[in-house]
Homo-oligomer: A and B are copies of this chain.
Amino acid sequence: MSPAQRKRDFPVSDVRRYLEPGPVVLVSSRHGQQTDIMTMGWHTVLEFTPSLVGCLISSGNHSLQLVRASGACVINVPSTALTDIVVGIGNTSGAEIDKFEHFGLTPDKALKVKAPLIRECFASFECRLHDDALVDKYNFFIFEVVKAHVAPGRKPPQTLHYMGDGAFMTSGKIISRRSRFRPGML
């Protein structure tokens, strides 16, 4: 069993700290009684305030209909402790299995959306659909992060970054160049 991550409120305008370095994330969704989880590697921060994230959910994903119908999702960041679960989620379909049950993950109630948080992830960002202008053409969704939950700690746990072909880069050492930044550029 994976350890639960006790999370605290986190400013939505600062989610770039966790998403900009490019981790694979787990997107959880709910519509009616159905929930699902998918892996996602194609996403980018778009704005601090409102806190906007753009991401690609291709039509092969069972989650797509839950996200479209509910207009919401939760973006959860897993650490390398969940590597095999992340791979398993990406290689199964929510049309066939209940992913929470199958992978032993715990759905926690979100505050602002119906989609559940994944307790075992160290960061969970509640998202509402903000703009679907590019959904039909590119499957590109723009979400607003309306609530952020992050496990406290001086530095983030080790994350997974997909490279294709079954390989992941894991996060390494953190370095600071803060003193070389102009204040407005941090």
Across the interface, name the chain B residue whose C-beta is closest to A168.
B175
List the B side residues contacting A1 at CB < 8 Å.
Answer: none
Taking a contact as CB atoms closer than 8 A, the residue among B14, B55, B84, B138 that contacts A164 in the complex is B14
> A182 on the interface (CB 8 Å rule)?
yes
Taking a contact as CB atoms closer than 8 A, the residue among B46, B137, B177 that contacts A168 in the complex is B177
List the B side residues contacting A169 at CB < 8 Å.
Answer: 21, 156, 159, 171-174
Taking a contact as CB atoms closer than 8 A, the residue among B23, B140, B159, B164 that contacts A186 in the complex is B164
Tier of interface size on chain A: 35 or more
> A16 on the interface (CB 8 Å rule)?
yes
> A107 on the interface (CB 8 Å rule)?
no
Across the interface, name the chain B residue whose C-beta is closest to A16.
B164
Q: How far is the CA of A175 from the CA of B163 in the complex (A)?
A: 10
Interface of A is mostly: mixed
> A94 on the interface (CB 8 Å rule)?
no
Q: How far is the CA of A186 from the CA of B161 in the complex (A)?
A: 14
List the B side residues contacting A133 at CB < 8 Å.
Answer: 133-134, 137
- With contacts A20-B22, A20-B41, A140-B46 taken as known, whether A172 is within 8 angstroms of B173 at the C-beta atoms is yes
Verify B172–A178 contact, CB threshold 8 A: no
> A95 on the interface (CB 8 Å rule)?
no
A21 to chain B, nearest CB (A): 4
Taking a contact as CB atoms closer than 8 A, the residue among B47, B140, B165, B186 that contacts A54 in the complex is B140
Verify A172–B174 contact, CB threshold 8 A: no
